[in-house]
């Protein structure tokens, strides 16, 4: 059974940093692309970033480019999102989601339960 | 940037057919994926590559895609289908994943 478990969320002040993690199990992590998707309270889904299986391809939404960094450690079956210069509008539940294949990032057939990031003073 | 447009809400009586549209410029040339999200839960993929269903998704869920509109069709709607539905594509011209704004399906 595929399992994706996010962690690292919490309350952070504007301008601060946070690192999210996603622990994967139940599949060959090194063979799949991965995604981060977020959802602000009461709002729709917003794609944040994607990374191919070998980290050769990395993509970011314009809203986070230059502030967020996606990475992965295939030896540890883990996905990360380093978030810097956080803003109030980054407040959201952040989901990690498995991509379709090594390079093709969508559709995302498996999702974690999400971790809440709150940016507030 | 590529934009996907969904109606904010769709209402349907139990047993009837719900159709949720997703509009985009020449969306028929892209692969469209659909997700269902119930309150407090993570999204679930219900249709991928325009019209394919993941294992475990009822045959009542189907999809089509042509021209500037993709459609998710839910036949014989049940109370348990009440949820938010999102369409999604990969925009190769910008190397971005794009979600539609979401449609709230209400079962009357």
H-type alpha helices, A1-121? none
pLDDT tens, A41-57? Answer: 999 999 999 999 999 99
Comparing CB atoms, the residue among B37, B42, B48 nearest residue A107 is B48
Which has the closest alpha carbon to A28: A48, A7, A8, A54?
Answer: A54
- Which candidate in A42, A45, A100 is best for mutational testing of the B interface (most B CBs within 10 A)? A45
Nearest-CA distance B93 → chain A (Å): 13
pLDDT of residue A97: 98
Residue A92: the pLDDT is 98
Look at residue B28 in the predicted model and tell me its pLDDT.
97
Cα B45 to chain center, whole Å? 9
Give mean pLDDT in consecutive 10-residue pieces for chain B, a chain of 108 residues.
Answer: 97 98 98 97 98 97 98 98 98 96 97
Q: Which residues contact B39 (CB under 8 A, 6 or more apart)?
A: none
| CA–CA gap between residue A103 and residue B87 (Å, rounded) | 20
Q: Which residues of B touch A45 (CB under 8 A)?
A: 35, 37, 43, 86, 88, 99, 102
DSSP-derived secondary structure for B45-56? EEEBTTTB--TT
Contact assessment for residue B107 and residue B12, using Cβ atoms and an 8 Å cutoff: yes
Read off the pLDDT band of A88 (50, 70, 90): very high
Interface check B56 vs A, CB under 8 A: no
- Mutation for testing the A interface, residue in B42, B45, B55 having most A CBs under 10 Å: B42
Cα–Cα distance for residue pair A94/A112, rounded to 1 Å: 9
Task: Give the per-residue pLDDT at B62.
Answer: 98
């Amino acid at each position: 059974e595929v399992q994706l478990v996010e962690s690292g969320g919490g309350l952070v002040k504007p301008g601060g940093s946070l690192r999210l993690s996603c622990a994967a199990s139940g599949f060959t992590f090194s063979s799949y692309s991965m995604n981060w998707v977020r959802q602000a309270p009461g709002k729709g889904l917003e794609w944040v970033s994607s990374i191919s299986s070998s980290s050769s391809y990395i993509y970011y939404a314009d809203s986070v480019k230059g502030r967020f960094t996606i990475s992965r450690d295939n030896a540890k079956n883990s996905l990360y999102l380093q978030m810097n210069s956080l803003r109030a509008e980054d407040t959201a539940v952040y989901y990690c989601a498995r991509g379709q294949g090594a390079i093709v990032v969508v559709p995302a057939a498996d999702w974690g339960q999400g971790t809440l990031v709150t940016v507030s003073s | 940037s590529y934009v996907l447009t969904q109606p904010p809400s769709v209402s349907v009586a139990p047993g009837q057919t719900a159709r949720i549209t997703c509009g985009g410029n020449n969306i028929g040339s892209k692969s469209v994926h659909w997700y269902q999200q119930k309150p407090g839960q993570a999204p679930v993929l219900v249709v991928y590559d325009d019209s394919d269903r993941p294992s475990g998704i009822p045959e009542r869920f189907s999809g089509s895609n042509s021209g500037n509109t993709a459609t998710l069709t839910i036949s014989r709607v049940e109370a348990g289908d009440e949820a938010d539905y999102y369409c999604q594509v990969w925009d190769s011209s910008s190397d971005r994943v794009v979600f539609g704004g979401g449609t709230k399906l209400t079962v009357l």
